[in-house]
Chains A and B, each alone.
Chain A
Amino acid sequence: MFNQSSLPEPYPDEALSSWMYRVREILPEPEIRALSGISDHDRETSPLVAPYLKVLGGLGADLDFRFERPEILAFTQAYDLSLDWIKSVFSPASAKTIPISFRSDYCLQCMEESIAEVGFPVYLKSWRLLLKPFCQKHGCVLQSTNAYLYDSIDFGMDIFEHGCANPHELERESKWLAKDSEVKNLSRMVVNRIDFLLSQAEDAVVHDKVQNFVMTLLRITLMPKLWGNYSSIIKFTVQAGVDFESKKEIPMFYQLPLRVTGMVRARSFYLIGLLLGWIDEEQAGNARPRDDFYLATSASTLWRLVGNSTRIRTILQLYSTELLGVSMLADWECF
């Protein structure tokens, strides 16, 4: 009934869930066409609909990267596509990704460009790269939408609609970003430098170690000790409830990088830059917004806040390589 040439071309860097949504909107399968015409009540109660909802709904399932999911297999069968082709086009880069339950970041400019080009707000797979809180195309910090939207199969459309309906949220975020722009420029430099180092890794083991070293630094910069208790931190919304935050320190240490917004991760890369000595105190002092008194501008301040932690010291030593290691950390002796 369908063949690949009749389907819309995947947009550059498009995530599979986004493409699946577009395909179904443009060329709906007969079942979906039938389902779209019935009321919400009928949809929920009809025994005929239930099996399809199970396959089509995909709530909470990672339809971006988990290619063996039954929803994806059903899609490939319906549209006569090979799973190998799906994998070749939609596989993520070999980098750490944000789990589906915590995805929230996007670039509005990219989304608007995709609407102009293909008529849909396309969701890109690079927005789920944990160590890349900046748009790959425009260089801006990724914005973050409300956490509750994460499990939609049509995430891109949801984000876009939410943004259109809540323009004040976008304005507020743009103001914060404008205020922090110098700090974010330094963060971008750090991200690019780490990217370069990763590209220099000779084998997968070294690559993983470098990634894990950076992850550890990211976790350090997100420790509550380093947040301080000042008002400007409010902008760094953490996707977690009171229950989660009140739990012990270790789960927080490991999970926060996944739960925070792109804006928070971008700020963390600035702090990583300080820890690695890639940003000096003068640069940091010049970049710090005038009223952000508590933003650290030196590695020694950060190490002092972290305190003496054998666990962190051991982890950093474990992941040290010639490309990136404890010997390269600034003021490491303070720690």
Chain B
Amino acid sequence: MNPSQAIKVAREILEGDFALHYFSSEHLNLMQRLEESILSPKSEVVLLQGSPGCGITTLLSRLQVLHPTVAKLFKGDIYIGNWDFVDHLCDALNVRRGNYSKKNLPPHLFRVLSLIKCKAILIDDLDIYIANEGELDQVFRTIRALSSGVPGLTFVLSTRNERLANLYFKYAQPSWWSHGIRQRISVEEYRAIENRLWDGLNENYSLNVVKANLESFKPSYGLDIQNVTRTHRLHFVERFLLQQGALEILSDFNVLEEYESYVQSILSS
């Protein structure tokens, strides 16, 4: 591999999609549990909570990628208030919007949902689309009605809005469950992610990048999940570039942002 090819691969590694197997064991367990809910549906409504960067979006995207026929991901375009949420569902399912004069959900929406192969509706970041807080109830009334009216329909939604989360619990049924994703991981998880990421990238790109002295890196940039994954990827890329002769020595930065800028500057040079 010549240096320009090496830089291209390094860019791909840094900018590429974050595959879930580089995540923590908590993510992996949750993923497995959600896959069970989708593939053997029990009319569950799952609420995922966590700080920005904790991996919920990646997890939901991954679910959709793995099960494109069964799962439908709603992301970045839901507006809540009056019947907007229902309208949005109708539009996404190619079902005509209903006449809400009698305050009922369109009956054909139930029928279509029970007939189509899509059995899981994944809604990412529900909280950022609130138009009118007074009408938030409408969302959970709809979700509850669809979940009980369409056998085997699963909802997985994430929110960081406390008010919305409280409403979830107000409307919750016995088959509903929630999960809070931890932002901070343990040192053991840090090592596990490192090993998975290292092996995964070597395998994906047919590389043989080895760690210095065959030892793990110290978690010098903290144990927050998003920093950990960034750090490991930067470490991998730096060592890959060294191996390919694009670098002469390894760096030693105390601040993650400086380290990232340094690697990026090499890639853009």
Interface residue ranges, A against B (CB under 8 Å): 25-26, 112, 115-116, 119-120, 157, 160-161, 164-165, 167
Contacts and interface: CB of A to CB of B under 8 A. Distances in A.
Interface in B80-123: 93-94, 96, 106-108, 110-112, 115-117
B204 to A, nearest CB: 30
A25 B112 CA distance: 16
B156 to A, nearest CB: 21
Nearest to A25: B94
Contacts of A25: 94
A116 B96 CA distance: 17
Nearest to A167: B107
A160 B106 CA distance: 12
Given A115-B112, A116-B115, A161 B94 contact: no
10 contacts: A26-B94, A112-B115, A115-B112, A115-B115, A119-B116, A157-B96, A160-B108, A164-B108, A165-B108, A167-B107
A26 B94 CA distance: 8
Contacts of A165: 107-108
A176 B117 CA distance: 32
B244 to A, nearest CB: 40
B94 A119 contact: yes
Most B CB contacts (10 A, CB to CB) among A25, A26, A164 go to A164
Nearest to B112: A115
Consensus secondary structure, chain A interface: helix
B116 A115 contact: yes
Given A160-B111, A161-B106, 11 more contacts: A26-B94, A112-B115, A116-B115, A119-B93, A119-B94, A119-B112, A160-B108, A161-B96, A161-B108, A164-B111, A165-B107
CB-based closest 10 A-B pairs = A164-B108, A164-B107, A115-B115, A161-B108, A164-B111, A116-B115, A25-B94, A165-B107, A112-B115, A119-B94
A112 B107 CA distance: 14
Contacts of B108: 160-161, 164-165
A116 B94 contact: no
Contacts of A26: 94
B163 to A, nearest CB: 30
Contacts of B111: 115, 160, 164
A119 B115 CA distance: 8
A165 B106 CA distance: 8
A116 B117 contact: yes
A204 B93 CA distance: 45
Nearest to A22: B94
Nearest to B109: A164
Nearest to A114: B115
Interface string B31-43: 0000000000000
A160 B95 CA distance: 10
A112 B106 CA distance: 17
Interface string B173-208: 000000000000000000000000000000000000
A116 B106 CA distance: 18
A225 to B, nearest CB: 42
A161 B96 CA distance: 9
A116 B116 contact: yes
Most B CB contacts (10 A, CB to CB) among A25, A115, A157, A160 go to A115
A25 B110 CA distance: 19
A265 B179 CA distance: 59
B79 to A, nearest CB: 14
A75 B106 CA distance: 30
Interface in B114-152: 115-117
A309 to B, nearest CB: 48
A149 to B, nearest CB: 13
B154 to A, nearest CB: 18
A226 to B, nearest CB: 38
Contacts of A164: 106-108, 110-111
Contacts of B93: 119
Contacts of B115: 112, 115-116
Contacts of A161: 96, 106, 108
Contacts of B110: 164
Nearest to A157: B96
A113 to B, nearest CB: 8
Nearest to A115: B115
A164 B113 CA distance: 12
A112 B116 CA distance: 9
A138 B116 CA distance: 20
B107 to A, nearest CB: 4
A179 B3 CA distance: 80
Most B CB contacts (10 A, CB to CB) among A157, A165, A167 go to A165
A160 to B, nearest CB: 6
Contact of B94 (A112, A120, A167): A120
Contacts of A115: 111-112, 115-116
B72 to A, nearest CB: 11
Contacts of B107: 164-165, 167
